[in-house]
Structure 1
């Protein structure tokens, strides 16, 4: 169920998939966790429930429901801890760090990313890259430039080792790594470097990640405009709008709302006016 819901979330966004994920523990999971089982089966059930709780929290973040997300994240930690599932425990702490950093709480995000690293002393290279990338972003947001660059180098080295073994579809991948590079660059005032890394991330993203593509192209366009590349930004926003109507995501809505505000001073430009007219009938949710 978690895999199926996750696929819906990747393609269509949290508003589509989260209600289903939230109801499943009530209708099915809770009863099964009460059943008699061997220790091994019970641990596996707890681990599966923890993974679903983490995903539900992640989708709540995508809906802009941050308080609800935190409650699901805490439940995921509880279940993963009882199952002794270090992978889901670390993934959840890292997800909590992402939420904190995205809300501008850099020190809290750093603490959570460090906690994720401490909880995974034997992490494989892909998980290590996953954690180090987030540590780099959090460090950059707190102004710790040296640490941010060190964590980013470690993330890149770990990703190289992971990719040499096999490409794990659906987990931390080179597109996600380049997103972290972009965020570190941006936090450290290298907007041009951030644009380059976001372009690389977009080129590497798997086709099924429609929601992420809308969000990240919106972010890329914002930064292209920030460095003065208006026409490139307009082209990128058009790419985001191509898929935006099929996505139900507060985070995607935010990118489109930002676009509307950012292009307003440039409406005398013919290309911008065309973009504005195309977006006029699209109704993003207010977040």
Structure 2
């Protein structure tokens, strides 16, 4: 047996990540589990790898993904010294994972290309990947439901886009010869619309497990069926993508950003499998929005550029306005002021007189795009340090907010943003009135984001409350009671 050469690249990467061998081993186990693989990697195995023993190819990919998430950038195994001439990377590899017992690769394990785009699993059958994700979600597997937002998963390598899209377009059919048709597509869309309406009106924690269960059972079976026409098959795949996106949105509203990110990736895979570039663009925009909401804007401009590339000239004016507004915000949070202002102006021009009846199905599900445009422009202005302009944008985000309104959650959140901008300008009494209206909309709404918003309201008012400002004291008492109520009835905890 020859002398081993220490793997200095791997050692330096672990040192840069600032973690122990035990922590890296735990991350490798978690990454492998996300894609259905099993590994017994421990700190001793990591020490052996650093000393020069090579892990199997599947484990090498899981290790690479684990370090990419720690470091916040995309990596390939070669950058960590994990591949050498003659090293078989196409299967589990013959070389042992010293001390970890190897990795048992199931469908979608790292060895099948699932980590080709930063762990997104876009290179495999989207139905198989969704089935594993929903199974783990329903089972409450900690590494899935409590997964952190991963910056590396948000990276979109433009030069790989077409290759990945081609690989993601293969969906197997049911071996038993099950058939489906237009009626099944209509039924799935009816369920999607019902779940979406309930989400907008009552918050993400209402019916979250029902959406996941429906995806896991009915929708997965539909997508495997044999349809009477290719158009019907593509419509079902598109509907599955919309439901995966809804599951992600509900996870995000339940304070589970990492789980939400993984559902969005599944939605992207279905859009690609259905051959719908415009739908791909929509999901990429959602992923950019999600990154900004999670405070991780590193790849948001790149995601928006990729969205616009997929969209091409297909956008109607209302959709184009929304893309421009999201891109303006992406520039703003990165401090690119001139570009943010230019893109904000473009969003407003595009939205003037736009006919929203031209919105595609997957966008129209969420109602009017105009208030969403204003919401993004408000957040862009806030990021640029322009609270008065931000207040004006938020105030014009006219969501359906009446007592029986269909969008009470987002209306309340928009009012929360408006009040925050008023408070920053010293309009304390006005801010407290605005926030009071927000609280009035929250009856029966179960949303972790609303809990966070009300908590931030109290934080904004804390200095004024300490100085005895009557408006601040009165509102704080209401907010404190509201938070106590939602904690008691379970709305304040992740679902």
TM over 0.5, shorter chain: yes
Richer in helix (by share): 1
Cα distance change on mapping 1:165 and 1:210 into 2, 3 Å: closer
- C-alpha deviation, 1:217, in angstroms: 1.1
CA offset digits 1:26-80 (Å, max 9, x no partner): 2211111121113222111111101111121122111111111111111111111
Match of 1:256 in 2: 454
Match of 2:471 among 271, 274, 284: 271
Determine if contact 1:18/1:59 at 8 Å carries over to the other structure: yes
For residues 1-287 of structure 1, the aligned pairs below 5 Å read: 1-37=191-227, 38-121=229-312, 122-163=314-355, 170-201=366-397, 204-207=398-401, 208-267=406-465, 268-283=468-483, 284=486, 285=492
Determine if contact 1:181/1:197 at 8 Å carries over to the other structure: yes
For 1:5 and 1:273, how far apart are their aligned partners in 2? Answer: 39
CA offset digits 1:140-165 (Å, max 9, x no partner): 11111221122222212221252487
For 2:427 and 2:255, how far apart are their aligned partners in 1? Answer: 30
Consecutive unaligned residues in structure 1, runs of 5 or more: none
For 1:35 and 1:238, how far apart are their aligned partners in 2? Answer: 51
For 2:281 and 2:356, how far apart are their aligned partners in 1? Answer: 23
- C-alpha deviation, 1:10, in angstroms: 0.8
> Does the residue aligned with 1:107 lie in a helix, a strand or coil?
coil
**How many residues in Structure 1 have an aligned counterpart in Structure 2?**
285
TM-score (norm: length of structure 1): 0.92
- C-alpha deviation, 1:262, in angstroms: 2.3
TM-score (norm: length of structure 2): 0.55
Determine if contact 1:183/1:194 at 8 Å carries over to the other structure: yes
Larger radius of gyration: 2
For 2:234 and 2:442, how far apart are their aligned partners in 1? Answer: 40
Cα distance change on mapping 1:120 and 1:164 into 2, 3 Å: closer
For 1:99 and 1:12, how far apart are their aligned partners in 2? Answer: 20
Q: Which protein, 1 or 2, shows the higher relative CO under an 8 Å CA cutoff with sep ≥ 6?
A: 1
CA offset digits 1:111-131 (Å, max 9, x no partner): 111111111012121221121
For 2:353 and 2:441, how far apart are their aligned partners in 1? Answer: 33
CA RMSD of aligned residues (A): 2.0
Cα distance change on mapping 1:42 and 1:286 into 2, 3 Å: closer
CA offset digits 1:262-281 (Å, max 9, x no partner): 22332322222222222232
For 2:358 and 2:389, how far apart are their aligned partners in 1? Answer: 28
For 1:78 and 1:133, how far apart are their aligned partners in 2? Answer: 25
CA offset digits 1:161-204 (Å, max 9, x no partner): 52487796844522222212212211111111111211122xx2
